Structure 1
Amino acid sequence: MNIPGFQQHRVPVADGVALHTSVGGTGSPVVLLHGFPQTHLMWRHVAAGLAADGHTVICPDLRGYGASDKPADPDGTSYAKRTMAADVVALARALGHESFALAGHDRGALVAFRAGLDHPDAVTHLALLDVLPTLDMWEVLHGATAAVAFHLYLMAQPPGLPEELIGAAPDLFFGHFLDLWTRDPAAVPAGVRAAYLAACREAVPSIVADYRASAGVDAEHDLTDRAAGNVLRMPVTVLQQDWGAALGYDAAALWRAWAPDLEHRTVDCGHFMAEEAPDEVTGALRKLLTR
Structure 2
Amino acid sequence: MDPRINGFDYRRITVADGVTLSAAVGGSGPAIVLLHGFPQTHLMWRHVAADLAADHTVICPDLRGYGDSDKPVDTDGEAYAKRTMAADIVALAGALGHERFALAGHDRGALVAFRTGLDHPAAVSRLALLDILPTLDMWDVLHGVSAAVAFHLYLMAQPQGLPEQMIGGSPDEFFGYFLDLWARDPEAIPADVRAAYLRASREAVPSIVADYRASAAVDVAHDTADRAAGNQLRMPVTVLQQDWGAALGYDAAEVWRAWAQDLEHQTVTCGHFMAEEAPAEVVRALRALLRR
Name 2:244's counterpart in structure 1: 243
Could you tell me which residue of structure 2 aligns to residue 289 of structure 1?
290
1:1-291 matched pairs, under 5 angstroms: 1-52=3-54, 54-291=55-292
Q: Quote the offset at 1:244 in angstroms.
A: 1.1
Letter of the 1:32 counterpart: L
- Structure 2 gap segments, 5+ residues each: none
Secondary structure at the aligned position of 2:165 is classed as helix
Q: Residue type matched to 1:158 in 2?
A: P
Give the distance between the partners of 2:118 and 2:18, measured in 1 at CA.
25
1:28 corresponds to which letter in structure 2? P
1:3 maps to amino acid: I
Q: What is the CA-CA distance between 1:21 and the residue it aligns to? A: 0.2
* Distance (whole Å) between structure 2 residues aligned to residue 69 and residue 232 of structure 1: 29
How many Å separate the matches in 1 of 2:23 and 2:94?
13
- Mapped partners of 1:282, 1:205: distance in 2: 33
Name the TM-score, length of structure 2 as normaliser: 0.99
Letter in 1 for 2:64: R
The residue type equivalent to 2:193 in the other structure is V
RMSD: 0.4
SS in 2 for 1:225: helix
Aligned residue identity for 2:143: H
The structure 1 segments of at least 4 consecutive aligned residues displaced by more than 4 Å after TM superposition are none
Deviation at residue 78 of structure 1 after TM alignment = 0.1
TM-score (norm 1): 0.99
SS across alignment from 1:19: strand
The one-letter code matched in structure 2 to 1:109 is A
1:267 offset after TM fit, Å? 0.8
Aligned-partner residue type, residue 138 of structure 1: W
CA–CA distance in 2 between the matches of 1:72 and 1:257? Answer: 35
How many residues are aligned here?
A: 290
Q: Cα offset for 1:160?
A: 0.1
Partners in 2 of 1:27 and 1:243 — Cα distance? Answer: 35
Deviations 1:263-284 (A, max 9, x none): 0001110000000000000000
- Structure 1 residue 221, shift from structure 2 partner: 0.2
CA deviations over 1:168-210 (Å, ceiling 9, x no partner) = 0000000000000000000000000000000000000000000
Pairwise CA distance, 1:16: 1.7
* Counterpart residue type for residue 107 of structure 1: R
**Counterpart amino acid of 2:32?**
V
The aligned amino acid for 2:291 is T
| Identity in percent | 78
